[in-house]
Structure 1
């Protein structure tokens, strides 16, 4: 799944001809031109060709090839929907935000490589990154104090975690 990015989740079916309602959680999806989507079915990504898609705020209405009955469509409800990374719009450097660090490798000045940033939560006054380090889920804030550098080409973020933070999780 690392070659794909999530664009949304199927919420429900509509009508009897297989139309699917998708909650879109990828900004500007309407600007991406795609002919196929991938569904996570049992841990494998299965491709479906798109016949049509209509957008309405953060919702998309999908018709997929060979999904032409409510029975076929019902099997896709509550499934995550992905596109190939080749279709992911390239961001200009000035459009980069802290949320874009998801998937980057966090490297601490003292501890070395912490692992891939698996999730970024947006809280009222800060962003929190999640990594798995030494079999523990570790959370740390993303801010000017902690981030020492970002390597966009290699997908790395250099951090200086507060002293004792890792001990809280590992101790």
Structure 2
């Protein structure tokens, strides 16, 4: 499985217990039905390796997962700090006006007044807020996603239109 055809849904944090379970941090882009997944991919040495799930217990943004063939704390330690992925084809389509973070990476950001600002390098999570990250020359610009600044997102043209207040780019 190619990493470009997958999206990140979480991170294996650390071993949990003595039977090979692990604690997992679940990303915001993770499907709501995480507990019903049969298998996921873990990143190991720049490759994705399939892991089959025996059981899952979800508690908020964390889950306790038991993978097949991971039966000891040492085995759980080996997969700690690995990102968890699912194929992009398995995630639900985003609705109009919504997007997954990895969908808009590379989109051009254009301000009503200032013109082209740059391309989105990532979408960063800062507490409860999502921020578009782009470089304008040597300066990093952060634009809140949940704000009145974003006017439209055109996925076919890979363009985001914004209307930033006067002085926003000077901060």
- Under a length normalisation based on structure 2, what TM-score does the superposition of the two structures give? 0.70
In structure 2, distance between residues paired with 1:77 and 1:87: 24
Aligned CA RMSD, in angstroms, stands at 3.2
2:96 maps to 93
In structure 2, distance between residues paired with 1:46 and 1:132: 30
Which runs of structure 1 show a deviation greater than 6 angstroms over 4 or more consecutive aligned residues? Answer: none
2:141 maps to 138
Corresponding residue SS for 2:9? strand
In structure 1, distance between residues paired with 2:77 and 2:69: 13
In structure 1, distance between residues paired with 2:18 and 2:127: 41
Give the direction of change, closer, same or farther, for the CA distance of 1:84–1:160 in structure 2 (3 Å limit).
same
In structure 2, distance between residues paired with 1:23 and 1:30: 15
Give the direction of change, closer, same or farther, for the CA distance of 1:135–1:86 in structure 2 (3 Å limit).
farther
1:48 maps to 50
Q: Deviation string for 1:145-170 (max 9, x for gaps)?
A: x323221445532123445544x48x
- Under a length normalisation based on structure 1, what TM-score does the superposition of the two structures give? 0.70
Question: Residue 17 of structure 2: which of 15, 18, 26 is its match?
Answer: 15
- The residue correspondences of 1:76-115 to structure 2 (distance < 5 A) are 76-93=79-96, 96=98, 100=99, 102-103=101-102, 104=104, 105-109=107-111, 110-112=114-116, 114-115=118-119
In the alignment, structure 1 segments of 5+ residues that lack a partner are none
